[in-house]
């Protein structure tokens, strides 16, 4: 139900808001004519935007959205005093809790014809910080300035100018609070003028993508300014600037999260492009003396991709105010779109282009690491144990790991299924699928358990424990970090063997050969003859790469391990990466959501994190300079 818009800001209206703030309750109210007041909880700041009464100002109002406390209002002269009374009441109510209160008002600068522009006609981003010269906010002004300068907008550093002025207000509007009013309610007012590079200066046409690029660094700068003001001028000591962000999210966020998850969960992309006749295809390939490209058979696709796309793009992500969440949702929407296109193009040459968009290509750096591994590791390296483990025994070991997780998280409901229609191991919807003909070395069982269960199943259920469904269905591009974590888990339990590293390197080689235009048979022959892989293993590597029409996903195992190793080497922590199925690019957003208490700590953690030997290996990995150091690659 839409909240009615009041005709004026009355005294009872103001008192009701002040009462809710005194009780630390959230406020979300429509204002007269236009605008909204949103205050998440008791906070010592308010971000304000007033709509200019005599000129259009598209886009600027969105720059305060996502803040934990913001006010958008019409810059109407009649409402001016009412609006001032409202802000004073908010400052008094919040000031009682914190001892001081900050108001930052933002506005766009007037269009100037001779502003410098690049070849595309886009002007250099610029900000002006307007302040009264009060010593109370000198460090806040500095924090705001430094953060704005550090943020790149369209690959340009903005100019930032500091303007001391007794009058802090947009052109053509009276100050929100006079000096006397601000002093009376314990408030300090800062102004921030932004050059509106996000719209055409002649026609006023809005550039939505450019607006987002301005909003992102501004969003961060606001937080750091609020953080510095809070620490320097109030009784509150926030642990991190992100902890001052929004905790209460509007209903649109949860609705969009649910809608995206519903579309994403309507199909299983990897299962849809995994052959169901891998054993029969191998037999036929061997009978052809490895000369004839095998024919793979796939499951029927259980959805109509075009209809799902219609449903996908009906999701109104533009209603999400939080810029970090909006970006996550947009990226997921784009990824789902590409996956659905891939389902339409399965078994055609076009499928490869979808794969490259989803999983990327093998660049020369990754190829060099893979080639070095294959050169250093002897072709006939053996696993530590000659004993083998079949499907039933492996499933039993997985069930033991599941039992541990159930004790820590009663909602854990994963199952193990032994299947004849898959090859190897696979996790789907949090369940472990085990190929009926699996036959793995006993020395590799624990590594595979921690890869599949201790990483893929664990992150699925850690994601399920959160309200955000994207965390278990998977953020866009999550596979690379997921597989990097899974392979690192193998190393931490002492199971990242030489044959395993050779296998990961071979997948990279095969993916590069695919994109270079090599045929299935040519790639198989290279793995067989040049790199001396067992012929059935060479077939399985090639099948995984060429399935569906060409899938480069298997290159993410080694690439993800390299990226994770780099992250750990720089001091990054491992456990926060297990909160769900997230991508490396979204780690900062996830950390922000944890600080804001939108997310809670994950209930499940891998058992190896409590193993002293695993901890030693983790420190060894941190100290090593290259992923090549994770295994002994010296020739024997």
What tokens does 34 get? 């236009």
SS3 70: strand
Phi, psi of 161 (to 5 degrees): -120, 140
What tokens does 183 get? 């002093």
> What confidence category does residue 533 fall into, taking pLDDT thresholds of 50, 70 and 90?
very high
**Contacts for 19 with CB less than 8 Å, ≥ 6 apart:** none
Convert the pLDDT of each residue in 111-131 to its tens digit.
665 566 666 667 889 999 999
| Residue 212 exposed, middle or buried by CB count within 10 Å (0-12, 13-18, 19+) | middle
Contacts within 8 Å (CB) and 24+ apart, 112-119:
112/201, 113/201, 115/195, 115/201
Helix 305-312, helix 323-344: angle, nearest 10: 170
Could you give the CA distance from residue 583 to residue 553 in angstroms, rounded to a whole number?
Answer: 14
Residue 491 in contact with residue 617, Cβ under 8 Å? yes
pLDDT score recorded for residue 113: 55
Q: Which residue has the tokens 């994601």?
A: 463
Please name every residue paired with 101 in a beta bridge, in sequence order, or none if there are none.
187
SS3 188: strand
pLDDT score recorded for residue 78: 84
Furthest-apart CA atoms within the chain: distance in Å: 92
333 CB-side CA count, 13 A: 20
What tokens does 474 get? 């998977």
What tokens does 101 get? 């209160």
pTM attached to this predicted model:
0.91
Report whether pLDDT(58) > 60.
Answer: yes
Residue 420 in contact with residue 436, Cβ under 8 Å? yes
What tokens does 472 get? 């278990």
Residue 414 in contact with residue 432, Cβ under 8 Å? yes
What are the domain boundaries of the chain? 11-246, 268-302+345-630
pLDDT score recorded for residue 571: 94
Q: How far does the chain reach from its first CA to its final CA, in angstroms?
A: 73
Could you give the CA distance from residue 263 to residue 332 in angstroms, rounded to a whole number?
Answer: 11
- Going by C-alpha positions, the residue among 556, 632, 564 that lies closest to residue 378 is 632
Exposure string over 385-418, b if 16+ CB within 10 A, otherwise e: eeeebebeebbebbeebbeebeeebeebebebeb
Work out whether strand 101-108 and strand 126-131 pair parallel, antiparallel, or are unpaired.
unpaired
User: Phi-psi bin for 383: left (phi > 0), alpha (psi -120 to 50), beta?
Assistant: beta
Convert the pLDDT of each residue in 311-368 to its tens digit.
999 999 999 999 999 999 999 999 999 999 999 999 999 999 999 999 999 999 999 9
Convert the pLDDT of each residue in 556-612 to its tens digit.
999 999 999 999 999 999 999 999 999 999 999 999 999 999 999 999 999 999 999
What tokens does 529 get? 């003859």
SS3 108: strand
- Going by C-alpha positions, the residue among 338, 275, 597, 381 that lies closest to residue 477 is 338
Could you give the CA distance from residue 319 to residue 335 in angstroms, rounded to a whole number?
Answer: 19
pLDDT score recorded for residue 229: 97
**Contacts for 560 with CB less than 8 Å, ≥ 6 apart:** 479, 480, 481, 482, 483, 484, 485, 487
CA-based Rg of the chain, rounded to a whole angstrom?
Answer: 29
Could you give the CA distance from residue 400 to residue 307 in angstroms, rounded to a whole number?
Answer: 41
Asked which of 100-114, 222-236, 368-382 is least confident by mean pLDDT, the reply is 100-114
Residue 216 in contact with residue 198, Cβ under 8 Å? no
Kindly state the average pLDDT of the residues 540-562.
Answer: 97
SS3 297: coil
Residue 612 in contact with residue 469, Cβ under 8 Å? no
> What confidence category does residue 635 fall into, taking pLDDT thresholds of 50, 70 and 90?
very low
Report whether pLDDT(634) > 50.
Answer: no
CATH class, domain 11-246, is alpha beta
């Amino acid at each position: 139900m839409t909240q009615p818009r009041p005709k004026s800001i009355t005294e009872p209206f103001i008192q009701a808001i002040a009462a809710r703030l005194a009780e630390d309750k959230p406020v979300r109210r429509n204002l007269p004519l236009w605008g909204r007041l949103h205050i998440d909880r008791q906070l010592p700041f308010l971000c304000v935007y007033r709509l200019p009464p005599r000129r259009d100002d598209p886009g600027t109002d969105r720059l305060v959205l996502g803040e934990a406390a913001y006010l958008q209002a019409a810059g109407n002269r009649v409402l001016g005093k009412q609006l001032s009374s409202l802000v004073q009441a908010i400052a008094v109510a919040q000031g009682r809790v914190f001892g001081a209160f900050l108001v930052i008002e933002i506005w766009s600068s007037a269009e100037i014809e001779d502003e410098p522009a690049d070849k595309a006609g886009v002007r250099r981003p610029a900000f002006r910080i307007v302040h009264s010269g009060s010593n109370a906010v000198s460090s806040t002004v500095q924090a705001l300035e430094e953060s704005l300068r550090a943020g790149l907008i369209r690959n340009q550093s903005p100019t930032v100018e500091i303007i001391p002025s007794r009058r802090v207000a947009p052109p053509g509007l009276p100050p929100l609070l006079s000096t006397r009013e601000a002093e009376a309610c314990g408030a300090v007012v800062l102004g921030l003028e932004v050059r509106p590079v996000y719209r055409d200066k002649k026609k006023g046409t809005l550039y939505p993508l450019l607006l987002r690029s301005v909003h992102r660094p501004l969003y961060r700068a606001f937080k750091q300014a609020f953080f510095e003001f809070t620490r320097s001028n109030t009784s509150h000591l926030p642990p991190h600037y992100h902890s001052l962000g929004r905790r209460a999210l509007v209903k649109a966020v949860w609705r969009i999260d649910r809608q995206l998850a519903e579309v994403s969960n309507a199909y299983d992309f990897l299962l849809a492009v995994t052959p169901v006749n891998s054993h029969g295809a191998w037999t036929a390939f061997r009978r052809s003396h490895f000369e004839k490209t095998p024919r793979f058979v796939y499951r029927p696709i259980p959805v109509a991709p075009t209809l799902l796309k219609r449903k996908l793009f009906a999701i109104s992500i533009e209603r999400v105010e939080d810029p970090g969440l909006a970006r996550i949702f947009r990226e997921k929407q784009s990824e789902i779109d590409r996956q659905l296109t891939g389902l339409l193009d399965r078994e055609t040459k076009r499928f490869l282009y979808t794969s490259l968009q989803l999983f990327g290509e093998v660049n020369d750096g990754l190829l060099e690491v893979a080639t070095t591994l294959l050169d250093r590791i002897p072709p006939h390296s053996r696993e530590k144990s000659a004993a083998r483990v079949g499907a039933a025994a492996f499933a039993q070991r997985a069930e033991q790991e599941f039992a541990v997780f159930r004790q820590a998280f009663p909602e854990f409901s994963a199952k193990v299924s032994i299947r004849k229609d898959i090859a190897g191991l696979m996790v789907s919807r949090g369940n472990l699928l085990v190929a009926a003909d699996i036959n793995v070395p006993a020395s590799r069982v624990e590594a595979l358990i921690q890869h599949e269960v201790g990483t893929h199943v664990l992150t699925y259920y850690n994601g399920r424990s959160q309200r955000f469904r994207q965390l278990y269905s998977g953020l866009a591009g999550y596979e690379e970090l997921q597989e990097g974590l899974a392979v690192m888990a193998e190393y931490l339990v002492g199971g990242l063997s030489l044959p395993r590293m050779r296998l990961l390197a071979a997948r990279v080689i095969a993916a590069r050969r695919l994109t270079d235009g090599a045929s299935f048979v040519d790639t198989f022959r290279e793995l067989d003859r040049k790199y001396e892989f067992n012929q059935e293993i060479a077939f399985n590597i090639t099948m995984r790469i060429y399935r569906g029409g060409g899938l480069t996903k298997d290159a993410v195992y080694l690439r993800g391990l390299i990226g994770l190793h780099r992250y750990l080497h720089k001091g990054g922590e491992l456990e926060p990466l297990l909160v769900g199925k997230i991508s490396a690019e979204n780690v900062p957003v996830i950390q922000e959501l944890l600080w804001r208490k939108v997310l809670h700590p994950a209930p499940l953690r891998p058992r190896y994190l409590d193993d002293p030997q695993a901890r030693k290996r983790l420190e060894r990995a941190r100290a090593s300079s290259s992923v090549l150091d994770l295994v002994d690659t010296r020739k024997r």
